[in-house]
Amino acid sequence: MAIFRAMIARKFSSATVRSLRVCVVGSGPAGFYTAEKMLKAHEGAEVDIIDRLPTPFGLVRSGVAPDHPETKIVTNQFSRVARNERCSFFGNVTLGSSISLYELRQIYNVVVLAYGAESDRVLGIPGEELNGVHSAREFVWWYNGHPDFSKLTPDLKSTDTAIVLGQGNVALDVARILLKPPTELAVTDIASHALAALKTSSIRKVYLVGRRGPVQAACTAKELREILAIKDLYVNIKETDLLTTSEEEEEMKNNRIRRRVFELLSKASSSAAPHPSSGQRELHFTFFRKPDKFLESDDRSGHVAGLQFEKTTLQGRDGSGNQIAAGTGQHEDLKCGLVLKSIGYTSIPVEDLPFNFPKGTVPNTEGRVLSSDFAKPDYGLYVCGWLKRGPTGIIATNLYDAEETVASISEDLEKGKLTSASIKPGREGLLQLLERRKVQVVTFSDWEKIDSEEKRLGSLKGKPREKLTTWKDLLEVTTK
Amino acid sequence: MLKVVWSLSGNTMFTCKTLQLGPQAIKGLSKVSRILKSTSPALITPRKSYVQNFCLPGRERFSTTATDNAEGGNEENQNISVTFVDKDGEEKKIKVPIGMSMLEAAHENDIELEGACEGSLACSTCHVIVMDVEHYNKLEDPTDEENDMLDLAFGLTETSRLGCQVIARPELDGLRLAIPAATRNFAVDGYKPKPH
């Protein structure tokens, strides 16, 4: 295949000896920061980034909200990494089906798993499987045009109320997308199927429900400020929920993030109108409520009609010093027709990879994957990003995470810990294997065709891009 | 220093690939300004200015005007001296034109300061620590938007600012900026910043 021949030609014409073959699995921030730092730290390193999607950048493309374009600017930096002569991007290559972890480790000296967390934590309460109950991850992927969820078709027309479980930034994102006037979303890169659904949405009330109080809310100031600023939005925060203990006051003195979030919530509560005016959209911050079960609709069998909550109070702290919500035995129901669970992501294990199921991460020490039996590093295999630390943090968190993982790799190389330091086939080996398996590899310049086409389609509609949202469309463009 | 405000309208195709405009780019811009002068003189207004971030993501048309620094004048008064101290303690002293941000100045001088969002107040990666309190106090207070990003900065201190928001002014001559070291504890949840 043409790509393969071009790669071979490039290799033999290069003056540098490419002695270190690295494969990074996952092309989100963790993957790209790892690749960038590896290239910088090792002149002889050649890094291949693989991703199961034909499009790179992970959650920067599929997670960051459409009305946050500045947060996506980092893809410029990632693109520069991908265009580096010693780096290649190969999309539409899935770990576990296109190629196994075992095979990757035969082909590369170093494998870094940075494939994130593509599944959800579950509540494990009755009714979770009812129609109308979605994870926020699915909903976000739907409005961001992820090819796996373009057919989600959430029902936004048969209810006026949505409940979001969780109060982190993802919860605020989905609430904001549901409440923002669709005309404002029309000039973003939101998927057109989502824009169409939001234009005819009947949802006017959104509850953001947390098990604990405003001092424990996981969102940050920017996102909170933004949602509170939505034009003509009625915001409801109970004053009694804002009463704090002296311990919490002390905690906020030492925690800038929490303090500023609390100040924003207090201000919103005190300046809120006593009642919403007719036709006004509503946002309710509901604290101290733990979901007990989903309630099924009487009219629509199999469809959610609300949630039963148990009221909570803060009692004691867990091992990490976080406040715990304890049930009080009192219950309260909230009616709705749509539930979005925003309670956290979890990673998906693959064959031959040790996995910590309760945490949803790969056991590791400073990024070195630990072998299952003796908890010793399985040298040559590393992790970075959410797969390593769990699904928390911001894009920049991966900067420091990648630094740690790359430092571990460098140290292991220096100390001769990589037993298979022999010459590995690397890129050529990968492409040969994928060609035998008839995998349609998407290179970075193929992605650039998708990118141009999306921008072209977007310019016809006054959008920065019009995303291609099916596997078929994405792969077709790359063949032109 | 050229203040370059871009004005490319009509059918000119120009994709903004990077914010970082080094000396080469400035030369290129002068070239463009000459072309613009010959084709659309109405777009040019002679006035002093400085390179700024004009690239908004997703926008392919944007307008600015390329100008020359018609006033000339003493080069010394146009620059201040700034010293960057990296996480290993190595110092680099550079000249920064009045009006340029510290992020841009760092990139023009190959100083390793991250700038993920390229100066659009959507990240905290250009976080710098102002080493002298007198200089810190001379800076204008951070806006809510900058403070929101500083909330998330790693290794935040009492004299921390975002490099893209610190603009060179004469009274900041001799500014010393430290680039924070990556901390071991980089979980946003586990981070315990100093009281503010």
* Mean pLDDT, rounded, for B31-45: 40
**Predicted local distance difference test score (pLDDT) of residue A18:** 65
Helix then strand count (H, E) for chain B reads: 5, 5
CB-based contact, A461 to chain B, within 8 Å: no
**B92: Cβ–Cβ under 8 A, 6 or more apart, which residues?**
B83, B84, B86, B109, B111
Predicted confidence at residue B56, as pLDDT, reads 41
The DSSP secondary structure of A78-125, one letter per residue, reads HHHHHTSTTEEEEBS--BTTTB-HHHHHHH-SEEEE-----EE-----
CA nearest neighbour of B114 among A385, A33, A24, A31? A33
Q: Which residues pair with B128 in a beta bridge?
A: B161
Q: Say if the Cβ atoms of B58 and A392 lie within 8 Å.
A: no
- Closest to B19 measured CA to CA, from B101, B130, B112, B124: B101
Window 201-240 of A, Cβ < 8 Å to B:
220-222, 225
Tokens 């994709």: give the residue: B15
Q: Is A23 helix (H, G, I), strand (E, B) or coil?
A: strand
Is B65 in contact with B7 (CB distance < 8 Å)?
yes
Interface ipTM: 0.92
Give kind and range of the element (H or E) at residue A46.
strand A45-50
Q: Which range is most confident: A294-308, B8-22, B65-79?
A: A294-308
| Model confidence pLDDT, tens digit, residues A77-116 | 999 999 999 999 999 999 999 999 999 999 999 999 999 9
Query: What is the mean predicted confidence (pLDDT) over A408-431?
Result: 89
pLDDT of residue B21: 41
Which residues are registered as beta bridge partners of A48?
A: A23, A88
**Residue B186: per-residue pLDDT:** 53
Mutation for testing the B interface, residue in A256, A260, A359 having most B CBs under 10 Å:
A256
User: Which H or E element spans position A285?
Assistant: strand A281-286
For B111-134, how does the pLDDT look when each residue is reduced to its tens digit (9 = 90+)?
Answer: 999 999 999 999 999 999 999 999
Among the residue ranges A54-58, B148-152, B187-191, the one predicted with the least confidence is: B187-191
pLDDT at residue A320, rounded to an integer: 86
Look at residue A372 in the predicted model and tell me its pLDDT: 80
Q: What is the CA radius of gyration of chain B?
A: 18
Q: Is B170 helix (H, G, I), strand (E, B) or coil?
A: helix
The secondary structure of A301-360 as a DSSP string is: TTBEEEEEEEEEEEEEE-TTS-EEEEEEEEEEEEE-SEEEE-S-EE----TT---BTTTT
* Span A181-206, average pLDDT: 98
Which tokens in the block code for residue B124? 């905290």
| Contacts with A250 (C-beta within 8 Å, 6 or more apart), sequence order | none
Q: What pLDDT is attached to residue A375?
A: 82
When pLDDT is cut at 50, 70 and 90, the band that residue B190 belongs to is very low
Question: Tokens standing for B8?
Answer: 């490319």
pLDDT at residue A418, rounded to an integer: 86
Cα–Cα–Cα angle for A249, A255, A259, nearest 5°?
60
Nearest CA in chain B to A224: B148
CB A329 within 8 A of CB A310: yes
Question: Which residues contact residue A63 at a Cβ distance below 8 angstroms, ignoring those fewer than 6 apart?
Answer: A140, A141, A144, A170
Q: B11 pLDDT exceeds 50?
A: no
* pLDDT over 80 (residue B35): no
Whether residue B77 has pLDDT greater than 80: no
Count of CB atoms situated within 10 Å of the CB of A279:
7
Contacts of A221 in chain B (CB under 8 A): 144, 147-148, 151
CA distances from A476 to A54, A91, A191, A472, B95 (A): 11, 14, 18, 6, 51
CB B106 within 8 A of CB B159: no
Q: Which of B118, B145, B189 lies at the smallest CB-CB distance from A392? A: B189
Q: Which residues pair with A281 in a beta bridge?
A: A233
A260/B151 CB distance under 8 A = yes
Q: Average pLDDT of A397-404?
A: 96
Read off the pLDDT of each residue in A257-272 and give the average, rounded to a whole number.
Answer: 97
Q: What is the pLDDT of residues A302-351, one digit of tens each?
A: 999 999 999 999 998 898 888 999 999 999 999 999 999 999 999 999 99
A72 touches chain B (CB under 8 A): yes
Distance from C-alpha of A310 to C-alpha of A327, rounded to nearest angstrom: 6
Whether residue B46 has pLDDT greater than 80: no
CB of B20 within 8 Å of a chain A CB? The answer is no
B114, A399: Cβ pair inside 8 Å? yes
Mean pLDDT of A360-377: 91
Average pLDDT, chain A: 95
Nearest C-alpha neighbor of B19 from the set B149, B144, B84, B108: B108
- CA distances A285 to A237, A243, A398, A438, Å, are 5, 15, 30, 51
How many inter-chain contacts (A to B, CB under 8 Å) are there?
103
CA distances from A34 to A30, A370, B149 (A): 6, 19, 23
C-alpha dist (Å) from residue A335 to A308, A309, A368: 9, 11, 47
CB atoms inside a 10 Å sphere around CB A204: 17
pLDDT above 70 for A270: yes
Sheet holding A338-341, edge to edge: A133-135, A338-341, A161-165, A205-209, A281-286, A233-237
Cβ <8 Å between B120 and A459: no
State residue A479's pLDDT score: 95
pLDDT at B38 over 50: no
Question: Which whole-number Å values give the CA distances from B95 to A402, A477, B19, B109, in the listed order?
Answer: 32, 47, 19, 9
pLDDT digits (tens, 9 = 90+) for B155-188: 999 999 999 999 999 999 999 999 998 654 554 4
Q: Which of B143, B148, B165 to mutate to test the interface with A (most CBs of A within 10 A)?
A: B148
Tokens 């190969």, located at residue: A90
Q: Which residue has the higher pLDDT, A418 or B103?
A: B103
Lowest-confidence region among A162-171, A288-297, A402-411, B63-72: B63-72
Contact B123 A400 (CB under 8 A): no
CB contact under 8 A, B17 and A76: yes
* Cβ within 8 Å, pair B123-A395: yes
**If you ran DSSP here, which 8-state letter would residue A38 be given?**
H
pTM here is 0.85
> What string of H, E and C letters represents the secondary structure of A360-415?
CECCEECCEEECCCCCCEEEEEEECCHHHHCCCCCCCHHHHHHHHHHHHHHHHHHC
Name the closest residue on chain B to residue A188, using Cα atoms: B58
Surface of B (112-131) touching A: CB under 8 A: 114, 116-118, 120-125
| A236-245, A267-276, B38-47: least confidently modelled range | B38-47
pLDDT band at A373 (very low <50, low <70, confident <90, very high): confident
Residue B48 has pLDDT above 50, yes or no: no
For residue B13, the tally of other CB atoms under 10 A from its CB is: 7
Entry field: residues in chain A:
480
For position B58, what pLDDT does the model report? 42
Residue B32's pLDDT band (cuts 50, 70, 90)? very low
- Mean of per-residue pLDDT scores for chain B: 71
Interface touch B117/A399, C-beta < 8 Å: no
Residues of chain A contacting residue B103, judged by C-beta atoms under 8 Å apart: none
The pLDDT confidence band at residue A423, using thresholds 50, 70 and 90, is confident
Task: Give the angle subtended at the CA of A302 by the CAs of A300 and A303, to the nearest 5°.
Answer: 60
Q: Is B17 on the interface with A (CB under 8 A)?
A: yes
Residue A31 scores a pLDDT above 90: yes
* Residues 6 or more apart whose Cβ sits within 8 Å of residue A129: none
Q: Is residue B12 pLDDT above 50, yes or no?
A: no
A contacts of B123 (beta carbons < 8 Å): 71, 74, 394-396
Least confident range of A26-40, A316-330, B34-48: B34-48
Residue A305's closest CA among A111, A429, A130?
A130
- Tell me the nearest-neighbour CA distance from A395 into chain B, angstroms: 8
pLDDT tens per residue, range B49-60: 333 434 344 444
